[in-house]
């Protein structure tokens, strides 16, 4: 049976050779997103350029899907899509607090935005967990609890996940700007009655976006947006990634750069799940830094595969495609020796969390059995930021928690933390005493 259903890599390579001149198109999109993808990214940061009321399973709630103006790390205007939920009824005089949610990895294709799923406002639904009932991870953690406490919750999809353009996957500085502009979108929408108090929370890719958003003070304070003057009170990062802390800021020579690039690659290829993330990461970084070439790191075949799959498949399906087509030979898509390594390493650093203290306290939750985002990343992040005077707490979750159990187990802890920040309660310094 295996011989009947398994394409060899040579056959697949031949097929790719025939199609090598093809331009891979984006997948078909629902009408809301198809129309947004034809729009120009013009307007104020956070300006909502399209919205549509949607059904929600949350009680006492009204919800919309939105498209709004954002920008990437280079200041290039983009369109991002997302979801806003708010309590029904009049808002208090001071307005409702804003919670801006940054989701974890879903994929880099246009159809990977969580707002496109039926009932995107439901509680977080994870593919790998036993009670997950979807092909992707979507939903808003504790959305009902936040609504019950009178908050507005906005959940971005990130640019390139339904609004056109190429998604800069794992480019935390860009993803963080989408989270910031999503908060501005919520703040500008009269129907939800938002005020100025704002908290950001995110997981995995979104955890990196959260701490990257926290360290962009000039962007946060920018004037002339759809909602100026939002007051950021705290940042909750669940298993956040930070590539910059793992990489040297200066390189002595090309040989050192090649060695580091090879080490980075090898850390991301032990299994096809990590490999799919790595391929999307290369594709997303190249989108953010157009002077880079995928063929610096990948074979010609690997570059074509990375482009085709990144444009058309979400992450779990992408991993399955690698397994089906290549089996254990997926590593053959990587060049034995990379080129232009110094430029790639610089791009990873420049796209990651800025080396600037966060504008408000940060709290990180993590599990000891996290194999998707190495805990050493946020351990080093905390050490660096605390050494420069920031307030960064890092909470190890009880038991043996994985990357995917982290959001659920941490929920009762950060619910109270957020409530205390909104209430203006004093917060102790979370940095280690030493």
What fold characterizes domain 1-434? Rossmann fold (3.40.50)
CA atoms 294, 298, 299, 304: torsion sign: negative
- Token pair 């090879």: residue: 262
Give the integer Cα–Cα distance in Å for 105 and 128.
Answer: 13
Write down the domain spans for the chain. Answer: 1-434
**Residue 27 confidence (pLDDT):** 87
Q: What's this model's pTM, rounded to 2 decimal places?
A: 0.94
What are the distances in angstroms from CA 150 to CA 58, 89, 188? 13, 10, 17
- Token pair 């339904």: residue: 162
Q: Is 385 exposed, middle or buried (0-12, 13-18, 19+ CB in 10 A)?
A: buried
Alpha helices in 142-253 (DSSP H): 143-148, 172-188, 205-214, 217-220
- The C-alpha angle 183, 188, 193, rounded to 5 degrees, equals 95
Give the integer Cα–Cα distance in Å for 156 and 181.
Answer: 9
Tens-digit pLDDT string for the chain (434 aa): 333 333 333 333 433 443 344 455 788 999 999 999 999 999 999 999 999 999 999 999 999 999 999 999 999 999 999 999 999 999 999 999 999 999 999 999 999 999 999 999 999 999 999 999 999 999 999 999 999 999 999 999 999 999 999 999 999 999 999 999 999 999 999 999 999 999 999 999 999 999 999 999 999 999 999 999 999 999 999 999 999 999 998 888 889 999 999 999 999 999 999 999 999 999 999 999 999 999 999 999 999 999 999 999 999 999 999 999 999 999 999 999 999 999 999 999 999 999 999 999 999 999 999 999 999 999 999 999 999 999 999 999 999 999 999 999 999 999 999 999 999 999 999 999 86
For the chain, what is the radius of gyration of the CA atoms? 21
Residue 6 CB contacts under 8 Å (≥ 6 apart), including other chains: 324, 327
**β-pairing, 77-87 with 96-102?**
unpaired
Closest of 263, 339, 267, 247 to residue 298, by C-alpha: 339
Strand partners, 39: none
Alpha helices in 19-126 (DSSP H): 31-36
Give the integer Cα–Cα distance in Å for 394 and 240.
Answer: 11
Q: Please give the structure tokens belonging to residue 379.
A: 């351990």
What are the distances in angstroms from CA 186 to CA 120, 131, 292? 16, 31, 35
For the chain, the 3-state helix, strand and coil shares in percent, each to the nearest 5, are 40, 15, 40
**Residue 251 confidence (pLDDT):** 86
**Residue 9 confidence (pLDDT):** 38
**Residue 24 confidence (pLDDT):** 57
Residue 286 CB contacts under 8 Å (≥ 6 apart), including other chains: 292, 293, 294
Q: Please give the structure tokens belonging to residue 51.
A: 């919205």
Give yes or no for a contact between 42 and 77, defined as CB atoms under 8 angstroms apart: yes
Give yes or no for a contact between 81 and 66, defined as CB atoms under 8 angstroms apart: yes
Give yes or no for a contact between 200 and 364, defined as CB atoms under 8 angstroms apart: no
Give the integer Cα–Cα distance in Å for 422 and 434.
Answer: 29
Give yes or no for a contact between 140 and 124, defined as CB atoms under 8 angstroms apart: yes
């Amino acid at each position: 049976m295996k011989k009947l259903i398994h394409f060899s890599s040579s056959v697949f390579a031949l097929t790719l050779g025939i199609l090598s001149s093809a331009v891979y198109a984006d997948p078909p999109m629902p009408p809301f997103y198809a129309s947004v993808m034809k729009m120009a990214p013009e307007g104020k940061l956070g300006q909502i350029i399209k919205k549509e009321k949607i059904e929600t399973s949350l009680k006492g709630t009204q919800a919309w899907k939105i498209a709004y103006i954002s920008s990437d790390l280079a200041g290039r205007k983009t369109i991002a899509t997302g979801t806003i939920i708010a309590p029904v009824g009049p808002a208090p005089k001071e307005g409702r607090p804003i919670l801006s949610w940054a989701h974890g990895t879903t994929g880099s294709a246009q159809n990977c935005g969580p707002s496109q799923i039926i009932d995107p406002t439901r509680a977080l639904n994870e593919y790998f967990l036993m009670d997950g009932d979807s092909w992707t991870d979507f939903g808003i953690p504790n959305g009902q609890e936040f609504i019950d406490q009178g908050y507005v919750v906005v959940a971005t999809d990130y640019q390139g996940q339904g609004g056109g353009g190429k998604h800069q996957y794992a480019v935390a500085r860009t993803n963080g700007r989408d989270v910031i502009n999503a908060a501005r979108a919520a703040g500008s929408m009269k129907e939800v009655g938002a005020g100025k108090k704002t908290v950001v929370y995110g997981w995995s890719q979104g955890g990196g976006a959260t701490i990257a958003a926290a360290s962009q003070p000039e962007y946060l304070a920018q004037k002339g947006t759809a909602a100026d003057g939002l007051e950021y009170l705290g940042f909750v990062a669940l298993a956040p990634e930070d590539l910059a802390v793992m990489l040297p800021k200066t390189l002595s020579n090309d040989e050192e750069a090649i060695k580091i690039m090879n080490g980075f690659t090898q850390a991301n290829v032990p299994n096809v799940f990590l490999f799919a993330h790595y391929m999307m990461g290369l594709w997303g970084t190249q989108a953010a830094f157009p002077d880079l070439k995928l063929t610096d790191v990948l074979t010609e075949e690997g570059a074509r595969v990375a482009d085709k799959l990144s444009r058309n498949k979400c992450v779990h399906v992408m991993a399955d495609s690698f397994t089906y087509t290549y089996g254990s030979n997926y590593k053959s898509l990587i060049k034995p020796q990379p080129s232009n390594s110094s430029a790639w390493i610089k791009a990873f650093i420049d796209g990651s969390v800025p080396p600037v203290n966060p504008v408000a306290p940060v709290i990180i939750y993590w599990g000891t059995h996290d194999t998707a985002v190495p805990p050493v990343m946020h351990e080093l992040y905390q050490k660096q930021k605390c050494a420069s005077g920031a307030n960064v707490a890092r909470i190890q979750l009880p038991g043996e928690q994985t990357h995917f159990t982290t959001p659920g187990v941490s929920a009762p802890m950060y619910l109270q933390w957020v409530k205390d920040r909104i209430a203006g309660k004093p917060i102790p310094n979370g940095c280690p005493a030493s």
